[in-house]
Chains A and B, each alone.
Chain A
Amino acid sequence: METLSIGQYFSRLANAFGKGWTRFWYLPSDPFPLCLMRILVGIFSLCFILSYTEDLSYFFAQGGLLSLELTEQYPPFNATYNPAVFSYFSYLHSPLELHIAHWIGIVILCLFTIGWHSRITAVLGLFVILSYIHRAPLITSEIEPLLAAIQFYLCFGPCGARLSVDRYLAKRKMPIMPQSEQDRGGKFFSATLSTRLIQIHLCIIAAMMGIAKLSGPGELTGGGEWVDPWGVGEAVWWMIARPQTRIFEGLTSLRDYPYLIAAWTHIILLVELVFPILIWNRLARPLVLAIAFVAWGSLLLISGIGPFYALLIIGCISFFHPQFIEFWTSKLMRTKSLEQLDPATSVQG
């Protein structure tokens, strides 16, 4: 066994950490997953913005539900307190002005989704989304922070390099790839950076959701003895039992199967606790992703914040290997067939 001095040890440690850090964040990779995410996040953002259409004047117009004066009472969203919190809706008051700005935002997100000048439309898309979030903090739920974060991370990567109008136009203009592109092999360090940011953010969210379920509410009021719904395995039932957000009436018949409810509850909890750890193990990753898709897919139906879980599942695409996504995308589009892939390469390394 090699004997190292303390100086040598720290030198080697720093060297190894530096190499690992550089490889983790900057090793060029194929942006295909990012490009697929651009399309899905773009569609999601469009749905998010379009869902405001009916209520735009009701919320933001003069005398509406969320007057500017009301929003500014909450210091984090007060432009005087924090000038960086900007929303163009703060300067628009008439229904006509609001609707013009709204439809311009929709056009920007459409362009982002189809991948037209993606580098610019990604940033503009983030600006559009944040304008809605900052104008109406009182109606933001779990969905908005995740949407803003993923859109922000997409701004870093070449999310329009594939599956985009940009790509189509570039191919038409220059059928043969330039030498610099060929040397790079269609890989970008910014794709890795963007993908890693999304991956780590998802892990943080999953971990915090798991810890929140374990730790219960911050404070308890009332004199009754508190029963932990996640501990006793009834949390899924309490979600199903909420009439306002119930999608299928039929799910209430599950009350007759308490063991199923308990298993469902505990699988959700387990997934959120192990996801941030086991997702980094190459062998465990496909299994973790499969179970996470089932668990979060089920919450999509019963939690009342279905769009949040849909976005979480979209974010998980960042963990898939580009070849795997390309294989299935091309299979779906039936444009070309790739060689059979080794299952071990189905997720990103």
Chain B
Amino acid sequence: MSEEPLASENPVGFPSPGMRTLLTLFLFFHFFAILAGIAGNFGARSGLRRQLRASPGVQPYLHTLGIDTGYGYGLISNTADDLDHLCQIVVNPPVQFEGTADEMENVQKINLIPDAARAWGMQKRRYLTLASWLAALQGDNNEEANLVSAIAGGMLQRAEVESGTHRFFCRVQQTQDMISLDEIEPELQNPNHPRWFDTVYDADLIFEDDHWSPSKRGGSGEMTQSRSKSNRRRNR
């Protein structure tokens, strides 16, 4: 790196050559780490991309700064990831409780998202993110059960419910297709109508060994939002 021409142009205020070298080394490492983090987190991950992210110091550096991400913020992908997930506990449901809309009207419910959470706020985003983790972990029985146990435990503690047998639901809220409200059934014009919801996780909560354990009943499993061309034509 040539210093003299720069020094003659503006000698005041430049860092010393030694400092410049150190900063340049830092910049190379910093951007290498960021790009390796992106390579390792974005899209399909090949062996090389994983190895890049596993380079010495890269992952600890990115984790420490909280920037280990691929920035793959597609926002909408026409998959189940687009849908909002909502967790709910029904306190002491009747024996033959199936969780239908009519049954839900007459039971005590605890919602994960506080009623006061604003649509645009960070608070609501946190609860939606937490619920989407549960959807993402479905199928991995250990992690799924641990997460449900923690979420349910927190929800019941906040509601000051210490005993009983309860039901835990994780539901997805479907969104209205791009059609006029006039074209759909009047009752479905309300986005919070029960038919817009689908249960993806359903479990009984039993208190044992100082924590709430879920006993999974099985929901409709992973669901997809994907709209086929034929569906789209029909909807229009």
Interface of A with B (CB < 8 Å)?
15, 18-19, 21-23, 25-28, 47-48, 51, 54-55, 58-59, 63-67, 70, 73, 76-77, 82, 84-86, 129-130, 133-134, 136, 138-145, 148-149, 152, 183-185, 187-189, 193, 197, 200-201, 204-205, 208-209, 211-213, 215-218, 220-222, 224-230, 234-235, 237-239, 241-247, 252, 255-256, 258, 261, 299, 301, 303-308
Judge whether B143 is part of the interface by a CB distance below 8 angstroms. yes
User: B212 to chain A: closest CB distance in Å?
Assistant: 10
- B178–A237 contact, CB under 8 A? yes
Of the 9-residue stretches B90-98, B99-107, B128-136, B198-206, which lies at the interface with chain A?
Answer: B128-136
User: B176 to chain A: closest CB distance in Å?
Assistant: 5
- B63–A77 contact, CB under 8 A? yes
New contact pairs (15) apart from A185-B13, A241-B175, CB-CB < 8 Å: A54-B123, A66-B154, A139-B127, A144-B66, A211-B42, A216-B78, A217-B78, A220-B226, A227-B228, A239-B76, A243-B173, A244-B124, A255-B178, A256-B180, A307-B121
- B224–A148 contact, CB under 8 A? no
User: A348 to chain B: closest CB distance in Å?
Assistant: 17
Interface of B with A (CB < 8 Å)?
1-3, 5-6, 10, 12-15, 20, 23-24, 27, 30-31, 34-35, 38, 42-44, 59-61, 63-84, 86, 113-114, 119-130, 133, 143, 146-147, 150-151, 153-155, 157-158, 173, 175-176, 178-180, 191-192, 196, 222-224, 226-232
Across the interface, B229 reaches (CB within 8 A) one of A184, A193, A227, A299, namely A227
- With A22-B1, A65-B155, A138-B130 as given contacts, are A187 and B13 in contact (CB-CB < 8 Å)? yes
- A85–B64 contact, CB under 8 A? yes
- With A140-B129, A148-B65, A208-B38 as given contacts, are A23 and B6 in contact (CB-CB < 8 Å)? yes
Report the number of A-B residue pairs with Cβ-Cβ less than 8 Å.
261
- With A64-B157, A65-B151, A204-B34 as given contacts, are A212 and B129 in contact (CB-CB < 8 Å)? no
- B154–A63 contact, CB under 8 A? yes
The docked-state distance in angstroms from the alpha carbon of A184 to that of B27 is 24
- B125–A228 contact, CB under 8 A? no
Instruction: Name the CB-closest residue of B to A71.
Output: B150
- Residues of the A chain whose Cβ atoms lie less than 8 Å from the Cβ of B44: 218
The docked-state distance in angstroms from the alpha carbon of A242 to that of B82 is 9
- B125–A224 contact, CB under 8 A? no
- With A19-B2, A303-B75 as given contacts, are A222 and B224 in contact (CB-CB < 8 Å)? yes
- Residues of the B chain whose Cβ atoms lie less than 8 Å from the Cβ of A23: 6
- A25–B27 contact, CB under 8 A? yes
- A201–B34 contact, CB under 8 A? yes
- Residues of the A chain whose Cβ atoms lie less than 8 Å from the Cβ of B72: 208-209, 211-212
- B79–A217 contact, CB under 8 A? yes
- With A65-B151, A221-B80 as given contacts, are A212 and B227 in contact (CB-CB < 8 Å)? no
Counting chain A CB atoms within 10 Å of each CB, the highest count among B35, B223, B229 belongs to: B229
User: B42 to chain A: closest CB distance in Å?
Assistant: 7
- A227–B178 contact, CB under 8 A? no
- B76–A183 contact, CB under 8 A? no
Secondary structure call for the A interface: helix
User: A236 to chain B: closest CB distance in Å?
Assistant: 8
The docked-state distance in angstroms from the alpha carbon of A23 to that of B15 is 11
- Residues of the A chain whose Cβ atoms lie less than 8 Å from the Cβ of B81: 217
Instruction: Name the CB-closest residue of B to A254.
Output: B178
- B86–A82 contact, CB under 8 A? no
User: A221 to chain B: closest CB distance in Å?
Assistant: 5
- With A23-B6, A222-B224 as given contacts, are A228 and B78 in contact (CB-CB < 8 Å)? yes
Instruction: Name the CB-closest residue of B to A57.
Output: B158
The docked-state distance in angstroms from the alpha carbon of A148 to that of B61 is 13
- A70–B2 contact, CB under 8 A? no
- A51–B2 contact, CB under 8 A? no
- A244–B12 contact, CB under 8 A? no
- Residues of the B chain whose Cβ atoms lie less than 8 Å from the Cβ of A84: 60-61, 63-64
- Residues of the B chain whose Cβ atoms lie less than 8 Å from the Cβ of A204: 34-35, 38, 71
Counting chain A CB atoms within 10 Å of each CB, the highest count among B158, B176, B178, B227 belongs to: B178
- A247–B59 contact, CB under 8 A? no
Across the interface, B121 reaches (CB within 8 A) one of A18, A51, A145, A221, namely A51
- A76–B71 contact, CB under 8 A? no
Across the interface, B227 reaches (CB within 8 A) one of A183, A224, A252, namely A224
The docked-state distance in angstroms from the alpha carbon of A229 to that of B59 is 33
- B129–A225 contact, CB under 8 A? no
User: A123 to chain B: closest CB distance in Å?
Assistant: 12
Q: What are 30 A-B pairs at a CB distance below 8 A? A: A18-B1, A19-B6, A21-B1, A26-B15, A27-B10, A28-B14, A63-B153, A65-B151, A65-B153, A67-B153, A76-B68, A77-B63, A140-B129, A141-B125, A144-B66, A145-B68, A145-B69, A152-B65, A212-B71, A213-B75, A224-B228, A225-B229, A229-B77, A237-B178, A241-B176, A242-B173, A247-B120, A304-B119, A304-B125, A307-B125
